[in-house]
Structure 1
Amino acid sequence: MQRLIPTGDAALPVAFTEAPQPVLEPGEALVKVEAFALNRGETFLLEHPRPELVPGKDIAGLVVQPAADGSGPGIGTRVVGHPAQGGWAEYTAVPTHSLAVLPDTIDSVRAAALPLAGITALRLLRTVGSLAGRRVLLTGASGGVGHYVTELAVGAGAEVTAMTAMPARGERLAELGAEVVHEVTAAQGPFDVVLESTGGPDLSVALSKVRPGGMLVWFGQASRTPVTLDFFHLLSGPERVTIQHFHYAGAPYGSDLATLVRLVAQGRLHPEIGRVADWTKTADTLVDLRERRIRGKAVLLTRGTR
């Protein structure tokens, strides 16, 4: 089968190679991949790839070999999945606890755009609890996580301010019901909750906009600039603010994937697809995603390839 592997070349970050089909571990199903999505964080991993890196975490396709233990969907079932790696391939092994069945109403392109960003958004919002009537500031809202967080939070009754440096992206976030600002200094606090994903100087500014007793959840560092917090500066800001680190990872993912699928099927969540292309264009698409030339998710199709 064909698989994409890292090259270490920034201009051509992945290349095709021949590889054997995966040998299934207990509790895994073999999925014929129809579509996979790229994540901007993956472009950073490809800059200096680890020798064992086999990329690909967001896939949709067809079960062609069910798990031997009888768990999970049967042969011929359309699924969305979140494997630990190996999804940029014609076939991939996925733990059955990290698969969800797709209805006929959801195509593989939209399904592939759900896993990492959608699971992150769900789990992030669960971390802060009930949102009805609460004021929420989301920094770094340009990516897929920002889209899903905004739509889900507004749908849950929150008053959302979304910060994005990209005017075109801001238009979409405004359509979803957010107030849009392009610098964190322009956000009008105080906020009950701040969801911070840019790092650098933005975190300390965002922290100053939390109400006394509120919460800041730090879930990313998109600027790739480390954060420095001055304890004495914090003393002059809001009191009793909780700062919490968040990372989405931790299988099983199947239940969250099923929730995302249900929300899409009900018209309550709308994946934003910025590019759909044949997977022979993966390298170029990764470069464009890294350089922020794609608005929304980038999805690659394996159908019709070699």
Structure 2
Amino acid sequence: MHRLIPTGEAARPVVFAHVPQPVPGPDEALVKVEAFAPNRGETFLLDRPESRVSGYLLGKDIAGLVVQPAADGSGPGIGTRVVGHPAQGGWAEYAAVPTDALAVLPDTVDTVRAAALPLAGITALRLLRTAGSVAGRRVLLTGASGGVGHYVTELAVAAGAEVTAVTATPERGARLAELGAEVVHDVADARGPFDVVLESTGGPALPVALAKTRPGGTLVWFGQAGRTPVTLDFFDLLGGPERVTIRHFHYAGGPYGPDLATLVRLVAQGRLHPEIGRTADWAETAAVLVDLRERRIRGKAVLLTGGGVR
């Protein structure tokens, strides 16, 4: 089968290789991948030296068809349409996926939207659980124009939150405004105080966002998309809001299947709408990864494997 593997080159981060089909474990189903969605964080991983090591695999967001059910009898049967969140290996024609990281797709949810759900959608759900009830609360979301930001905004507004979203440009914030958020383009322009701050950019943005948190509020730090470390000044904190809690957040930890099923149900009910900024044949993956890394794609990018390899 064909798989995309890292090159270590910034301009062409992946190429096709012909490799053996994966052999699933007892609790894994073999899925024929019809679509996958790279994440911007994965583009950062491609920059690391270990990405050049043979066997280093990426690909965590897939949708496709079960062609071999799990040997232990768990999970969906052969021929079932599924969305999955494997630990690795999704940028390929076939992927072995733990059955507790799969959810069945109804006919009303297409493959492209399904592939855009896993990492960003699971992160959004778990972020909001970490934040607690947001009904009637003021929420500040930085780095809001990516896949996570769109899901958080739609879910939080639907739950009754007053959301302020920070995006780099008006174009990147247009859909967030349609979803009901107030959109600003610099965290300094956000009109606080906020009950909850969801911070994903790091660098100088985090201290500014922290200063806009109400006394007793919570800042959840879930990313560093700006790729710049955060520096906090103790004396600035003394002069800022009191009793603010800073929480580190990482979405990982299974099982993922129940959250995927929730996301699929919300999409099927018309309550969650994935933002697909680009759909392309997987022969174009290298160029799409560069555009994703350079923030030239709003929302999610989805690659389709059905067009073959060129």
What TM-score, normalized to structure 1? 0.99
Q: How many residue pairs were aligned?
A: 306
CA distance in 2, matches of 1:97, 1:180: 37
Q: Are residue 12 (structure 1) and residue 15 (structure 2) matched?
A: no
Of the candidates 114, 117, 120, which is equivalent to residue 114 of structure 1? 117
Q: For 2:178 and 2:304, locate their aligned partners in 1 and report how far apart those are by CA, in whole Å.
A: 28
SS of equivalent residue, structure 1 residue 38:
coil
Task: Judge conservation of contact 1:142–1:166 (CA < 8 Å) in 2.
Answer: no
> In structure 1, what is the equivalent of residue 88 of structure 2?
85
Runs of 5+ unmatched residues, structure 2: none
Does the 8 A contact of 2:282 with 2:307 survive in 1?
A: no
Shift of 1:133: 0.1
Q: Distance in 1 between matches of 2:96 and 2:225?
A: 30
Q: Partners of 2:16 and 2:144 in 1: how far apart?
A: 33
CA deviation map 1:4-51 (0-9, x unaligned): 000001111000001111111120000000000011111111112522
The answer to whether structure 1 residue 175 and structure 2 residue 152 are counterparts is no
Residue 304 of structure 1 and its aligned partner are, at CA, apart by 2.9
2:299 alignment counterpart: 296
Mapping for residues 261-280 of structure 1, pairs under 5 Å: 261-280=264-283
In structure 2, the partner of 1:193 is 196
Aligned match of 1:287? 290
Q: Which residue of 1 aligns with 2:2?
A: 2
Match of 2:104 among 93, 101, 105: 101
Contact 2:100 2:256 in 1 (8 A): yes
Question: After TM superposition, where is structure 1 displaced by more than 2 Å over at least 4 residues in a row?
Answer: none
Q: 1:173 is matched by which residue type in structure 2? A: L
Residue 164 (1) aligns with residue 179 (2): no
The code of the aligned residue for 1:16 comes to: F
- 3-state DSSP class of the match of 2:279? strand
Query: How much identity, in percent, do the aligned residues show?
Result: 82
Q: Distance in 2 between matches of 1:284 and 1:232?
A: 45
Q: Report deviation, 1:167.
A: 1.3
Unaligned runs of 5+ in 1: none
* In 1: Cα distance, 2:155 partner to 2:30 partner: 32
Q: What is aligned with 2:21?
A: 21
CA RMSD of aligned residues (A): 0.7
1:223 correspondence with 2:226: yes
Tell me, yes or no, if the aligned pair for 1:6 and 1:49 is still in contact at 8 Å.
no
